[in-house]
Amino acid sequence: MPTLIVVGTQWGDEGKGKIVDVLTEKADFVVRFQGGNNAGHTLVINQKKFILHLIPSGIFHPHTICVIGNGVVVDPEVIIDEIEKLKKEGLDVSSQKLKISERAHVIMPYHKALDLARESRAKKNKIGTTGRGIGPCYEDKVGRRGFRLIDLTKPDFFREKLKVYLEEKNYYLKYLGAEPLDFKEIYEKYVEYGQYLKPYLTDTSHLLWEAIKQNKNVLFEGAQGTFLDIDYGTYPYVTSSNTLSGNACCGSGLGPTVMNKVLGIVKAYTTRVGEGPFPTELKDELGEYLREKGGEYGATTGRPRRCGWLDLVMVKTAIRLNGISCLAVTKLDVLSGLDTLKVCTAYKIGEKTIESFPSTLDELSQVTPVYEEFPGWKENLSHVKSYNDLPKAAKNYLKNIETYLGVPIKIVSTGPSRENCLFLEEKSLF
Ligand code: IMP
């Protein structure tokens, strides 16, 4: 089957958007299957910068159909704003080009209010969420009191349910010290959003199934990263969905037998936003240097990202959790100019050496990274056109990563533009 799942192997922000954008040249469909507008992709196309939160980057390719699967949580305000902005740029964002699952859950105003109120009350124990209402929306989905996009197109049904749900949410908001929300305002706005989005809504599982039967190339684009997964991430400092490749099935309504390859994206160093443990974090000038050179500020919230050395214990664990069959290494250019590069290949807890990511924060807080060192390179990589032209030390760095992980590197990214993408073999991974 010509299907490919792309996932992040770290804490998100690995540069998936750029790789997906390049791979989309050969994709007929690009599918988002989890998360919401907590994600953010920065893309540079013809020297112009675009930030997308919900719509897959396939929107920039004229032949690709973009799909938002049932596993995504959709903030109607955000998606409508994104559609309108892209239209203004002259892009085709018609209902032929963008398909949204009618089953996708809706982020309601009270989800955002609850997210913010809880975080501000939690103070020391806050998760450091993006404040976009992601967690509360998934809670309501699992609690069977959520709205699906299709519900917004049925005003009577929506009105009755909203009355019941909002009463409970307002009670809770007041308890958290936040302002209660107005029923009429939400009802009228969201019915309008339903009308706007109605042409885009469809049974995307059925659509994708037909595409796969016709041998179309389908790319599944993961959001966030492996260690933000609700089950396998650094719980509770995680997002509220399964970010692992397995969720490409449930989040798009397809079975595992249609999935073929899984591409894991590895940033050449490690970053994380929000709270939570980070064994290889550099809290010194070097961390600051990586942040500035790598432009490590959240695409969604603008928050500075914490930076550290590449942690291969994490990536190796991500390979197992996602069934990763090949890798793309991104932002290699950011490491240019450093004399020595360090890579974490194991953790030590006391005298014990471990090579798998621990399940508890307690254990994680006790680990000391074991590093291997490699010589750096001075050359600027932005004009490198092929893998063979990379400096010897850069190739050595990559070769060692590949050998340790036992999975082939197929793509190396050396800058933000489409042109800064070196393919080690053929240009299609399908
Ligand atoms: P939430 O997804 O907004 O609930 O945030 C939960 C955690 O996931 C926080 O630490 C966020 O910073 C992090 N997070 C959510 N989305 C992303 C992303 O796209 N990239 C990196 N971190 C993210």
Q: What pLDDT is stored for residue 106 in this prediction? A: 98
Q: Under 8 Å CB-to-CB from 220, ≥6 apart: which residues?
A: 3, 4, 5, 6, 31, 33, 245, 248, 252, 259
Q: At what angle do helices 134-142 and 109-122 cross, to 10 degrees?
A: 110
Residue 271 annotated as lining a ligand binding site: no
Residue closest via CA to ligand 1's atom 2 equals 239
- β-bridge mates for residue 75, sequence order: none
**Measured in angstroms, how far is the CA atom of residue 142 from the centroid of ligand 1?**
19
- For ligand 1, pick from 10, 18, 38 the residue to mutate: most ligand atoms within 8 Å of CB: 38
Q: Could you identify the atom of ligand 1 that is nearest to the CA of residue 8?
A: 20
Distance CA 36, CA 70 (A): 11
pLDDT of 425 > 90? The answer is: no
Residue closest via CA to ligand 1's atom 21 equals 12
Q: What pLDDT is stored for residue 124 in this prediction? A: 83
Q: What pLDDT is stored for residue 1 in this prediction? A: 79
Contact in structure between 409 and 424 (CB atoms under 8 Å)? yes
Residue 15 annotated as lining a ligand binding site: yes
**Measured in angstroms, how far is the CA atom of residue 238 from the centroid of ligand 1?**
7
Q: Could you identify the atom of ligand 1 that is nearest to the CA of residue 38?
A: 16
For 305-321, write each residue's pLDDT tens digit: 999 999 999 999 999 99
For 362-395, write each residue's pLDDT tens digit: 999 999 999 999 999 999 999 999 999 999 999 9
Q: What pLDDT is stored for residue 411 in this prediction? A: 97
Residue closest via CA to ligand 1's atom 20 equals 12
Ligand 1: residues with CB < 6 A are 11-13, 38-40, 127-130, 132, 134-135, 223-224, 228, 237, 239-240, 273-274
For 158-189, write each residue's pLDDT tens digit: 999 999 999 999 999 999 999 999 999 999 99
What residues are annotated to the active site?
13, 41, 141
Which segments within 117-173 are labelled E, that is strand? none
- Which helix (H) or strand (E) segment holds residue 168: the answer is helix 155-175
- For ligand 1, pick from 224, 230, 237, 297 the residue to mutate: most ligand atoms within 8 Å of CB: 224
Contact in structure between 29 and 64 (CB atoms under 8 Å)? yes
Residue 47 annotated as lining a ligand binding site: no
Distance of CA 367 to the CA centre of its chain: 26
Residue closest via CA to ligand 1's atom 8 equals 239
The full set of domains in the chain, from first to last, is: 3-94+203-423 (3.90.170.10), 105-200 (1.10.300.10)
Distance CA 85, CA 410 (A): 34
Residue 222 annotated as lining a ligand binding site: no
